[in-house]
Structure 1
Amino acid sequence: MQRDPLSILQHVFGYHEFRNQQAAIIDTLVSGGDALVLMPTGGGKSLCYQIPALAREGVGVVVSPLIALMQDQVDALNALGVSAGFLNSTLDAGRARELEQQVRDGTLDLLYVAPERLTQARTLELLHQSPLALFAIDEAHCVSQWGHDFRSDYLQLSLLHREFPQVPRIALTATADPRTRQEIAERLDLGGARHFVSSFDRPNIQYRIERKDSARQQLLRLIRNEHAGDAGIVYCLSRNKVDQTADWLNQQGIAALPYHAGLGGEMRARHQQRFLREDGLVMVATVAFGMGIDKPDVRFVAHLDLPKSIEAYYQETGRAGRDGAPATAWMAYGLEDAIRHKQMLAQSEGNEQFKRHEHQRLEAMLGLCEVTQCRRQALLNYFGETLEQPCGNCDTCLNPPQTFDATEVARKALSCVYRTGQRFGVNHLVDVLTGNRSDKVASAGHDHVSTWNIGGELSANQWRAIYRQLVALGLLAVDAAGYGALQLTETCRPYLRGERSLQLRKDVARAQTRSRRAERVPVTDAERPLWEALRACRKQLAEEAGVPPYVIFHDATLLDMMAIHPTSLRDIASVSGVGDRKLEAYGDAFLEVFHRYAS
């Protein structure tokens, strides 16, 4: 017998109404249809399969690539009174057999399983013997060979439709351009699925990208001036840089942990658990970290190196501000980032079509870095979405960049590339333009070319900024197979000849962005003792249950409680995020806090 989805939402999850397209997605699944869902991080994707799994008879099977996070996902459901479990290599044989029997009996509501486990003959036999409510394929972009998180195990998941044709399926992701969306539908055999595409906009995130100039010090200013004591993630391209940056932050008095594939599995798991369960930690990581992280109060995501695509950038920055409160996505970027990525792409084992596609994605990422208009409009436009007005909450809106007529300086920069044979990197070219007779310049005879010392009106850093923008605009290419030599492209011809004018961003001293960031929580000084008491109560309950604090209640739920100052369990039941099980388990403890602080 099916249960009413709205009743499940209210009594199990404690929310009063569905958001955006949730109701339509859930209705599609409950009715037996398939769905492909694109919804930004923090948009409520998990409810789109959890509620139908509870509403329909049988077990909802959730395919997830995140073995390390399955325990936390199951703990969060168990705290709501939902019968959930996972099958993965961390279980001993006895517990696995016990769980498998629950699946056969249909007494389990949700089962989490990794794709490689799902496709094993033993698991498929188990599922054929069991009542199934649905299949949910989370992080569905992992099926795309054009995507940034490709997992070959996902390619086998089309068998679900073949083996279980009557069981509805839902594929979910936070990041997919139209091409990736089409590939997901094809590879998962979801040709008949309804597509639900939500807005990609995360208005609470402030996007900021600045010129890389002593990136560590820039990061330190960000944390100390705006995010002292906040949880955050810092992304670096290499494992070595992760380790060095984490060590350096700790030396500066900022609690930081490293995370990358080179660390042992036990250490990665320990660092991940600490990040989820402790307040104010900074995780310094490669892109190996972050997928599926449900921590709602990450207040900033920083990139010390350029992501390889806008999809990767959006996915990684989306881990900030899942709770809807103000958050910062900050990045330091320089020409060396573009050169490094192009060299890595040239050395890739992918075929020419793959390299061409990845090159286009990198060019789009460089374009986002150099845009002079609203950065959010450019970001959303990449995903096919139009934002009618500038957002007012990105660096280019808060501090509009100055531009200048760069027609003549661009001609000089391009001419210098041509006159030196298109075989040298940016530092050599800048030396030639500014008349710096280095050993390399002298030995190459470039102190006698026509572009020698013709660029004295700009500093070396300003010339580097010019070259950075010319590369981003596609007027220059990087010889990625060599040592980063700059080469002319066909696109540059009308500019080199002076037939077209060019406006570029003026390279000025770094200005402090006027952030609209509020306090981590909007409480007054008078309310802060009560707020801290509620957090202490939450932390104690979380430690007793062995779960992260947000599994008990999110900050938003505590703030809603403070807004009404409950005097009874009925009052607490009216708060968003308090379902029946949590009211029974935690209501009295929080009510006691309010009684102690009653005025």
Structure 2
Amino acid sequence: MSLTKEYALKHHFGYDTFRPQQAEIIDTVLSGQDCLVLMPTGGGKSVCYQVPALLLNGLTVVISPLIALMKDQVEALRANGIEAAFLNSSISGSEQDSVQWKAKLGELKLLYISPERLFSGNTLDNLRQWNVRLFAVDEAHCISSWGHDFRPEYRHLTKLKTYFPDVPVIALTATADRVTRRDILKQLNAPAAITFEASFDRPNLSLTVLPGRKRTQQIESFLLKHPTQPGIIYCLSRKTTETVATLLQNRGYKAKFYHAGLPAPDRSKVQEEFLKDDIQIIVATIAFGMGIDKSNVRWVIHYNLPPNVESFYQEIGRAGRDGATADTLLFYSYQDIIMRQDMIIQSEQSEEQKELLHAKLNRMKQYAEADLCRRRILLSYFNEAVEQDCGNCDVCRNPRTRFDGTLIAQKALSAIARTRENVAMGMLIDILRGSRNRAILSHGYDQLPTFGVGKDLRGEEWAEYISQMLNSGVMDIAYDEAHAFKLNPTSRQILKGEKKLELVKFIPLAERKAREEELIPKEKPKQEIIRDALFEQLRLLRKQMADALNVPPYVIFSDQTLSEMAQKRPISEAQMKAVSGIGDEKYRRYGTAFVQEIVKFAKENTKPGTRVAKGMTYIQTYELYKSGFTLDDMAQQRGLATSTIVSHLVKLRDEGHEIELRPLISDKMYNEIIAAATELNYQPGEPLAPLFERLGERIEYGMIRLALAIRGGE
């Protein structure tokens, strides 16, 4: 039998069907054509080159800037029974020699390598002798100076087509606007490459933006809903990562910080602990994450505003890679914009690049300040039109209320005018609220007619409304004058009453939390509680096995696979392989242990004679059958009708369990039932009542069903 892409997907990866566009991309690669794949994080990019690698008669070389990601990908491939290796500085010279020998002898299907290693020494000459059939360029946006994470070493990839003109190239990225896409193909010398754009929608991710006030308090509240689930908190500065991590540690959380200032061995240790679920929370700068293939990250928090939509999208994409639900939270404040603007102004970038960075930051700012569906804004950035609101972002869950805020705006603008346009946010709020602090008194601002005119609003309300005014173009800000507010023509129109201004009503944090909590079911159904308990037991087994094998837990099974396992409770090979993510190799390695754990859970959590959750009842019947009980004994033990026990056994047999039905019925009774069925010309699916009557109502329905099942007639 010739190997097909469908067989490779099921056999090695455990999936029955391809995700949208994956099959077309694979066919394009197999036909020898270059292509560019734009697919969201967690969208299945790796399958687009891993499946062709299995079908091609030779080596696939995967170029990646991420050493940690190489290791994770190779471990996952090996767990699926695929020969793979990587070449980078993290392994010894002898290990590198071993990898190269395997490549030379044709023992590898995939080889991961960094661009630096690819173009150093005699690597290119070696590749010419290793029967390379495909190049996969991961994180392809790194090749473009217009991309959000440009890496100069990626520019050398322009040589690929010179050295290997007949080898197709598949470039893959999760984040690239149209300018970046064009540049990727130009730099790879692949202008005729076919571009595939998958949907960037990640409906499993909830999107929430909250005001950046009392952030640590809000984080603690957020974590109460995610007590044991792994997550990442991204911060702008190294100091903040250390502060937040320490605070969480003091609250009893398993949290550690990660930033570029840590020694490399310490960074590796923290990352390894997170991958293996030994710590729950990583508090990190953006130095952490690109090399993470951890599929069970259940939430991501941005403590500070990211510099652009691409970075934000890539970072939230590290949650829910397994397709299960995950939460994302972005804190946003006026101060974040100031910090980001300052960083751009003080950078050594060219003026052209600074202009680009300012524009990208402005789009991120628009997302954070939106009062319409956030997912639609996010997807529109990647040129994807969406017709309906998502229902899974904070704006959709809590539609904004607008009101006439002209008077509020006039008070603030008047105060700016009377201070000769010389105050920033904090001072302006103090003037409006009538604060008599030292700075106010020293400037004489307590003598202004506008002093205290806004004492009816709290400081956080004023901060919210002033930010809205700024973002609506009602006033300007001078970043080079200590961020002082300036009036503009619109300001003067509002001051004169010639123009009105609508503002979005401020919602206090407590009220917002209450609204969110109203959407959460107060009590879980019994079946859901059972499923969650089994999930935790399976998660513990996964962790124990992963520790014994020294691999991250998600390499064994993803959270999504465990969740489906806990829901369906498979107890046979056929049932287990029907679970998404379990192929032949995964079942061979781990399947039996998980089946045994499910059976054990059923025994421990189901009392005789009580109603059991769906799926558990079959386990109980199967256990009684294996213990040698008769049909009558099984029915008595379970408190069920014999016909129900028969239906259980037939279903179990059909699903691949080793069950012999024939010994459960005497020859005399079996022959009598089959003779009557033959006389009546009984056909599968017909009512059993006529057959029951023909037998003089002496033989119960359960035994009739059993005989027919043995014959294959039901």
Fold conserved between structures, TM > 0.5: yes
Report the Cα offset of residue 417 of structure 1. 3.1
Q: The residue matched to 1:514 in structure 2 has which SS? A: helix
Q: Does residue 51 of the first structure (1) align with residue 51 of the second (2)?
A: yes
Range 465-474 or range 60-69, more displaced: 465-474
1:297-349: per-residue Cα shift (whole Å, max 9, x none)? Answer: 21111111111112211111111111222211112221111111111111011
Amino acid at match of 1:164: F
Aligned to 2:544: 540
Judge conservation of contact 2:59–2:131 (CA < 8 Å) in 1: yes
Q: In structure 2, how many angstroms separate the alpha carbons of the residues matched to 1:38 and 1:367?
A: 24
Judge conservation of contact 1:57–1:132 (CA < 8 Å) in 2: no
Q: Does residue 138 of the first structure (1) align with residue 142 of the second (2)?
A: no
Q: Does residue 514 of the first structure (1) align with residue 516 of the second (2)?
A: yes
Q: In structure 2, how many angstroms separate the alpha carbons of the residues matched to 1:330 and 1:509?
A: 17
Aligned to 2:631: none
Q: Does residue 321 of the first structure (1) align with residue 320 of the second (2)?
A: yes
Q: In structure 2, how many angstroms separate the alpha carbons of the residues matched to 1:477 and 1:124?
A: 55
Judge conservation of contact 1:299–1:326 (CA < 8 Å) in 2: yes
CA separation of 1:67/1:455 partners in 2, compared to 1, >3 Å: closer, same or farther? same
Judge conservation of contact 1:308–1:362 (CA < 8 Å) in 2: yes
Range 539-548 or range 157-166, more displaced: 539-548
Amino acid at match of 1:6: E
Identity %: 44
Q: In structure 2, how many angstroms separate the alpha carbons of the residues matched to 1:366 and 1:79?
A: 42
CA separation of 1:521/1:377 partners in 2, compared to 1, >3 Å: closer, same or farther? farther
1:19-40: per-residue Cα shift (whole Å, max 9, x none)? Answer: 1010011111111111111111
1:462-484: per-residue Cα shift (whole Å, max 9, x none)? Answer: 22222212333344444334422
Amino acid at match of 2:277: E
Aligned to 1:335: 334
Aligned to 2:191: 191
Report the Cα offset of residue 546 of structure 1. 1.4
Aligned to 2:6: 6
Aligned to 2:119: 119
Judge conservation of contact 1:434–1:454 (CA < 8 Å) in 2: yes
Q: In structure 1, how many angstroms separate the alpha carbons of the residues matched to 2:171 and 2:274?
A: 28
Amino acid at match of 1:551: V
Judge conservation of contact 1:339–1:478 (CA < 8 Å) in 2: no
Q: In structure 2, how many angstroms separate the alpha carbons of the residues matched to 1:241 and 1:214?
A: 14
Q: In structure 1, how many angstroms separate the alpha carbons of the residues matched to 2:189 and 2:9?
A: 30
Aligned to 2:590: 586
Aligned to 1:37: 37
Q: The residue matched to 2:209 in structure 1 has which SS? A: strand
Q: In structure 2, how many angstroms separate the alpha carbons of the residues matched to 1:458 and 1:281?
A: 39
Q: In structure 2, how many angstroms separate the alpha carbons of the residues matched to 1:86 and 1:185?
A: 25
CA separation of 1:490/1:146 partners in 2, compared to 1, >3 Å: closer, same or farther? farther
Judge conservation of contact 2:431–2:450 (CA < 8 Å) in 1: yes
Report the Cα offset of residue 567 of structure 1. 4.1
CA separation of 1:253/1:567 partners in 2, compared to 1, >3 Å: closer, same or farther? closer
Report the Cα offset of residue 452 of structure 1. 4.5
Range 563-572 or range 499-508, more displaced: 563-572
Judge conservation of contact 1:325–1:520 (CA < 8 Å) in 2: no
CA separation of 1:73/1:217 partners in 2, compared to 1, >3 Å: closer, same or farther? same
Q: In structure 1, how many angstroms separate the alpha carbons of the residues matched to 2:468 and 2:116?
A: 44
Q: The residue matched to 2:298 in structure 1 has which SS? A: strand
Q: In structure 2, how many angstroms separate the alpha carbons of the residues matched to 1:493 and 1:36?
A: 51
Amino acid at match of 1:440: A
Q: In structure 1, how many angstroms separate the alpha carbons of the residues matched to 2:131 and 2:562?
A: 38
Aligned counterparts, 1:504-583, within 5 A: 504-510=503-509, 511-512=512-513, 513-514=515-516, 524-527=528-531, 530-583=534-587
1:77-109: per-residue Cα shift (whole Å, max 9, x none)? Answer: 111111100111122222212211222232211
Q: The residue matched to 2:323 in structure 1 has which SS? A: coil
Amino acid at match of 2:362: E
1:489-548: per-residue Cα shift (whole Å, max 9, x none)? Answer: 567565555444322222231111526678999963344554444333322322222111
Q: In structure 2, how many angstroms separate the alpha carbons of the residues matched to 1:474 and 1:104?
A: 63
1:363-394: per-residue Cα shift (whole Å, max 9, x none)? Answer: 12121122111122222222222221221111
The structure that has the greater radius of gyration is 2
Report the Cα offset of residue 569 of structure 1. 2.4
Aligned to 1:266: 265
Judge conservation of contact 2:303–2:331 (CA < 8 Å) in 1: yes
1:435-490: per-residue Cα shift (whole Å, max 9, x none)? Answer: 44544344445455565554445343322222212333344444334422233456
CA separation of 1:521/1:309 partners in 2, compared to 1, >3 Å: closer, same or farther? farther
Judge conservation of contact 1:230–1:280 (CA < 8 Å) in 2: no
Q: In structure 1, how many angstroms separate the alpha carbons of the residues matched to 2:557 and 2:442?
A: 67
Report the Cα offset of residue 582 of structure 1. 1.7
Report the Cα offset of residue 272 of structure 1. 0.8
Amino acid at match of 2:148: H
Q: In structure 1, how many angstroms separate the alpha carbons of the residues matched to 2:155 and 2:250?
A: 44
Aligned to 2:173: 173
Task: Identify which of structures 1 and 2 has the higher relative contact order when contacts are C-alpha pairs closer than 8 Å and 6+ apart.
Answer: 1
Q: In structure 1, how many angstroms separate the alpha carbons of the residues matched to 2:467 and 2:568?
A: 54
Aligned counterparts, 1:357-372, within 5 A: 357-372=356-371
Aligned to 2:375: 376
Q: The residue matched to 1:229 in structure 2 has which SS? A: coil
Report the Cα offset of residue 577 of structure 1. 1.4
CA separation of 1:376/1:122 partners in 2, compared to 1, >3 Å: closer, same or farther? same
Aligned to 2:350: 351
Aligned to 1:21: 21
Q: In structure 2, how many angstroms separate the alpha carbons of the residues matched to 1:536 and 1:434?
A: 54
Report the Cα offset of residue 120 of structure 1. 1.5
TM-score norm. by structure 2 comes to 0.79
CA separation of 1:105/1:474 partners in 2, compared to 1, >3 Å: closer, same or farther? farther
Report the Cα offset of residue 426 of structure 1. 1.1
TM-score norm. by structure 1 comes to 0.93
Aligned to 1:220: 220
For the aligned residue pairs, the C-alpha RMSD in angstroms reads: 2.5
Q: The residue matched to 1:108 in structure 2 has which SS? A: coil
Gaps of 5+ in 1: none
Range 386-395 or range 20-29, more displaced: 386-395
Aligned to 1:93: 93
Report the Cα offset of residue 237 of structure 1. 0.7
Aligned counterparts, 1:88-487, within 5 A: 88-224=88-224, 226-278=225-277, 281-447=280-446, 451-487=450-486
Judge conservation of contact 1:321–1:327 (CA < 8 Å) in 2: yes
Gaps of 5+ in 2: 603-618, 621-714
Compare the two structures and name the one with the higher helix fraction.
2
1:32-82: per-residue Cα shift (whole Å, max 9, x none)? Answer: 111111111111111011111111121111111111232221111111111
